Structure 1
Amino acid sequence: MVTQQVEIERKYDVPGHDRPELALHELEGFTVGEPVEHDMSATYYDTADLQLARAKVALRRRRGGSDDGWHVKYQTGDARGEIHHEPLKTAPTRIPAALRKVLLGLTLGEELTPVATIDTHRTEYPVLGAQGQDAELCLDAVTARDERAGVTRAWFECEVELSRHDLGDEQARTVFDAVEAVLFAAGARTSSSVAKIARALGQDGGDVVRVVEAPGEGKDEDGALSTSGTRLAKNKKVSKDKAKKKAKDKTKSASKGKSKDKSAGKDKGRAASSGKGKDAQKRETSEQPKRTGADVLAAVLDRLVGELQSWDFAVRLGAADSVHQLRVRSRTLRSVLQASRGFISPEVGSDLEKRLKLLARVLGDARDQEVARERLDALLDAQSADLVSATAARELREAAEHRGDDAARAVRRELDSPAYLQLLRDLRELSRGEGITDEAAQLSPKRFAKTVLGAALNRVLSTAATTATTAPEDPEEVTVSTMAAVVGERVSIPGKDARQTAVAFEVLHETRKAAKSARYVSEALAHAHAKAGKKRIRAAVVAKDYQDDLGVVTDAAVMEEWLARVARSLQRTGRDRYAVGLLHGIELSDLRNGLLEAPEILEDLVEDLQETLPEKH
């Protein structure tokens, strides 16, 4: 059985080698129940290049505690989530198929092998409020072995997780504040770690984590961490022996401080005589390789491919807005490839652009269903019950749900396809520099950024200027999409025939896509700290502002087509079509008005861009 839950928790580091003494009797407003202790052992799996760890995802097989089984742990913002597969029927190395499928976009089908083994002695304290258990405080003594490096590390940490999901924000804050006060008093601090696996692999931890065994060495003098239970401290006095030792150490420290002061001058003199002069430091800096346009492009692609894979994982989890975000990342990648055509091998770039376009179609269909559903709710809410009955509204919402489910299934099929996984592998290769040309390496980051963003903005200008005020002399020369052709047939514009109307919509739609691309490229370069110049960046903002105005028209076209399809479906089944006809008429009117305003919008866009951009762009 596979279950999924969102955990609301906070983690804390506990410095030192000894278990902390927690004054849990001082927990303000709460009491603490009887502690329960568990010994747990978990084996963590990842790819050879740690793709799961990079995505802040952990796959483990754990025994002990209250949740034996396979777990996939992940982090989204401040909340942590977990997928739990139980029971442990399979062999230790056989990962359940359901979990492998969820992780496929991250692992790309690569073999998952053990990378760490983590043994935890956990003491759980139920935090009790007026209505029962509100949270659980866990104190963990952790010993972790990096299986590949042969290093064993150890540390203490605390975790507070809410037990009730019906607590309001203020109630949750009260629980956390009360527990934190006790933890901070015992020397704990907010954790810097994402997960235990990161510390097991030596990726973080600072002074909290200590190495107790390394290759070729035995355990340190303290050995493994003590796992005896935490005492509830009640005004305990420091023993006389400890007090004497503390005073003695303090005296030694003071005497050392004096000797340090005396030798400080000598040390400074030696440092000055042996230190490097400014000229030497300058030479050392100049010897470091300078960042190039190729480095910027690789960094941009690496980040975007990583985000694409992360949103792939979110789609497989069924996370809200994940299809939209996955589509945005795929379109951003395609936009960067288009704007960087002079810096990527033509064969590689052209092939990847085509495959990303095919992916965008599948994701676009699903996104259109999401837009239609949101717009449908707004339309229905605006109608009185006299015009649209409750039955008609329910049937329309059911139709939207069914169409959305069909589109979601199509997305999942696409994400599981060999062609899609190969696309991710090829994009990953390009992000490593395979296919980036020498021309990119010859440019500075700034010159590269100016060139690439300039190309994206020129595309906006050339597209918008195609028919800013009038259609081309021969509309037959313009290739239009299926959506544009449908708009031409259904919307009547004074002075235009169906073909000219279709071309006008196509120009508007393509201009909006070009404006989005310019925005995506500008944002991608900013993330890579590549400055494209103030004027070009400002021009990208201008294009973004017009993107929303143009989007009103394209969204109306999407909704009009959706309602027309639903109307045909209702006709086949003999159901009432009055409500859908009413809404369809509203959308047709909005679409027509948008097309009438479009020439002026495009004119203003061209004018504003030309004023904002530098003369040579």
Structure 2
Amino acid sequence: MADTKREIERKFEFTKASAARRGVPDLTGTAAIAAVCDQGTVDLDAVYYDTPDQRLAADGLTLRRRTGGADEGWHLKLPVSPGVRDEVGAALSDTVPPSLAALVRSRVRHAGLQPQVRLVSSRRLSHLLDAGGALLAELSTDEVLAERGDTTAAWTEVEVELADGVDPALLDSVEKAFRKAGLRVSEAPSKLARALSETDAEPPARPEGGGPEGTTGAHVLTYLREQRDALIAQDPAVRRSLPDSVHQMRVASRRLRSAFKTYRKVLDQEVTDPIGEELRWLAAELGVDRDQEVLLERIQAHLGELPRPLVIGPVRSRLRVWNTTRRSGSRRRALAALDSPRYLALLDSLDALLEEPPLRKRAARPPEAVLPKAVLRDYSRLADRVDSALSLTEGEERDVALHNARKAAKRVRYAAESAEPVLGRPAKHLAKAAKKVQTLLGDHQDSVVAREALRGLGVQATGAGESAFTWGVLHGREEALAERRERELPAIWAKASDPALRSGLG
């Protein structure tokens, strides 16, 4: 079973040989550090694994098998932000543990993992304690020898890693004390990164097609790369069940699909349409559990707002059973999709498109001449759908039309956001207006879905001999909410369709 911990640390190196001879200064009295307790020296032997073209290193990930020390075993380090990484560990074994292999699958795919660098370190460890004897941080001084084939490199590195819950401001105080003693923050984010640099084996740059800088093609492909990278980065987060990870992965897939449609006159649809369909499949496979979670939260929130006399019968237990039944197997389905050859083929297709993009003639033009038309084309589509929905009477047909308008609003929002680096404030304002329309229509659609679920819960309750009264009350409240949203739409749309919002686009 893999264990995870959040690392907040800062690495330092000596600026001069004289400073290295003096060693690490005594940090007693620095900020809240009341004592420095020597923990002795330990020998560490780590072998770092990567693909032959160093895909993990290129994205800032490290995967190692280490012996020696209190936490020997396998460790995968995933970047969170500068100086912050999540370390996922697994027991020592001869081969890469399946739990860790799964977390890097979106990057490794069929390339395979091989030993790349060996780091042998002699580590002197000290504990930095506060006045009450509580651990604030670990201070490590490492004498490192890196081996890559016949090439070697050696250096001394100092690392301060915070204990859980300690204010990161402590690292700033330590850095200030270290600077005075001749140490500076290391330029390398990890030992592996420095080892690769010192042995002339830094990860190669990713191939990036897209035509000359300053063209529409270059702009669109930069946006697509950002979404491709976000999709891949969320993969291990989804596997680890991190909050909001499924949502963010679905957003990346939707943005890619939306961009393919918005920029269909920039990229060949014969290439992008099949990839878009695969992205639709992925979002659907990931969405089963997420959609149910959102639905449950909505029903629970509205149930909690009811006065106690209106809650009749075993309502909450019925809701728990219903939710458990609907979510059963949904996470397995999502993980099965991420482990499938179809998903890996989708990622390969995205890479191939970005490396050899199917650009059309319009891609060579300046983005200022192309992006406004693309965004306004999506806006016209939204306007048609909203006008069509507002012309219908209340009922199922109108609900479907409003849902289609919501999807069109989302596409306008994504298009405007993708164009914002070029078109500036006008695109930003249009994106905000489209988001308001999307949010209102999203709440309306959630009400449609909730009413269908509540009707089913009422039927189940009746079949079990329970009162269906509370489910009916909730259903009525959802109907009233949907009606309010429909009444609010004309005013929201009037602001979003103000010609002044579009006048600055071109």
Q: In which range does the TM-score fall when normalised by the shorter chain? A: 0.7 to 0.9
Share of identical aligned residues, percent? Answer: 30
Taking the TM superposition and a 5 Å limit, the aligned residue runs for 1:67-106 are: 67-77=71-81, 79-88=84-93, 90=94, 94-106=95-107
Q: What is the match of residue 386 of structure 2?
A: 464
Q: Which residue of 337, 340, 356 maps to 1:417?
A: 340
Q: What is the match of residue 10 of structure 2?
A: 10
Note the C-alpha offset of 1:515.
1.7
Superposed CA offset, 1:375-413 (max 9, x none): 234223323444337963355256446644643332212
Q: Which residue of 368, 374, 399 maps to 1:452?
A: 374
Distance 1:73 1:390 in 2: 50
Note the C-alpha offset of 1:308.
0.4
Q: What is the match of residue 501 of structure 1?
A: 395
Q: Secondary structure at the match of 1:8?
A: strand
Note the C-alpha offset of 1:59.
1.2
Alignment of 1:539 with 2:435, yes or no, is no
Q: 1:512 to 1:62 in 2, by over 3 A?
A: same
Structure 2 residue ranges without an equivalent (≥5): 202-210
Alignment of 1:614 with 2:503, yes or no, is yes
Note the C-alpha offset of 1:118.
2.1
Alignment of 1:33 with 2:37, yes or no, is yes
Q: What is the match of residue 370 of structure 1?
A: 293
Q: What is the match of residue 232 of structure 2?
A: 309
Note the C-alpha offset of 1:573.
5.0
TM-score if structure 2 supplies the norm length? Answer: 0.87
Q: 1:114 to 1:336 in 2, by over 3 A?
A: same
Q: 1:557 to 1:56 in 2, by over 3 A?
A: farther
Taking the TM superposition and a 5 Å limit, the aligned residue runs for 1:105-504 are: 105-129=106-130, 130-146=132-148, 151-163=151-163, 165=164, 167=165, 172-173=167-168, 175-176=170-171, 179-202=174-197, 211=198, 290-388=213-311, 392-393=315-316, 395-397=318-320, 399-400=322-323, 403-404=326-327, 406-440=329-363, 442-467=364-389, 469-471=390-392, 496=393, 501-504=395-398
- Is contact 2:423-2:505 (8 Å) kept? no
Q: Which residue of 426, 435, 440 maps to 1:549?
A: 440
Q: Secondary structure at the match of 1:95?
A: coil
Q: Which residue of 579, 584, 593 maps to 2:484?
A: 593
Q: Secondary structure at the match of 1:38?
A: strand
TM-score if structure 1 supplies the norm length? Answer: 0.72
- Is contact 1:430-1:436 (8 Å) kept? no
Superposed CA offset, 1:530-579 (max 9, x none): x1365444323321232222222122223223333444444555555444
Larger Rg, first or second structure (1 or 2): 1
Note the C-alpha offset of 1:327.
0.8
Q: What is the match of residue 21 of structure 1?
A: 24
Equivalent residue pairs, number: 491
Alignment of 1:559 with 2:481, yes or no, is no
Q: Which residue of 514, 524, 527 maps to 2:418?
A: 524
Superposed CA offset, 1:89-112 (max 9, x none): x2xxx3222221222122223212
Q: 1:330 to 1:395 in 2, by over 3 A?
A: same
Distance 1:21 1:615 in 2: 58
Distance 1:120 1:524 in 2: 46
Alignment of 1:583 with 2:474, yes or no, is yes
Distance 1:614 1:104 in 2: 46
Distance 1:380 1:77 in 2: 39
Q: 1:323 to 1:199 in 2, by over 3 A?
A: same
- Is contact 2:434-2:496 (8 Å) kept? no
Q: 1:63 to 1:390 in 2, by over 3 A?
A: farther
Note the C-alpha offset of 1:131.
4.5
Q: Secondary structure at the match of 1:342?
A: coil
Note the C-alpha offset of 1:309.
0.4
- Is contact 1:44-1:59 (8 Å) kept? yes
Q: 1:100 to 1:564 in 2, by over 3 A?
A: farther
Q: Secondary structure at the match of 1:159?
A: strand
Note the C-alpha offset of 1:337.
0.3
Q: 1:547 to 1:23 in 2, by over 3 A?
A: same
Note the C-alpha offset of 1:343.
2.0
- Which residue identity lines up with residue 445 of structure 2 in the other structure? T
Note the C-alpha offset of 1:339.
0.6
Distance 1:577 1:121 in 2: 69
Q: Secondary structure at the match of 1:466?
A: helix
Distance 1:577 1:350 in 2: 46
Distance 2:321 2:162 in 1: 36
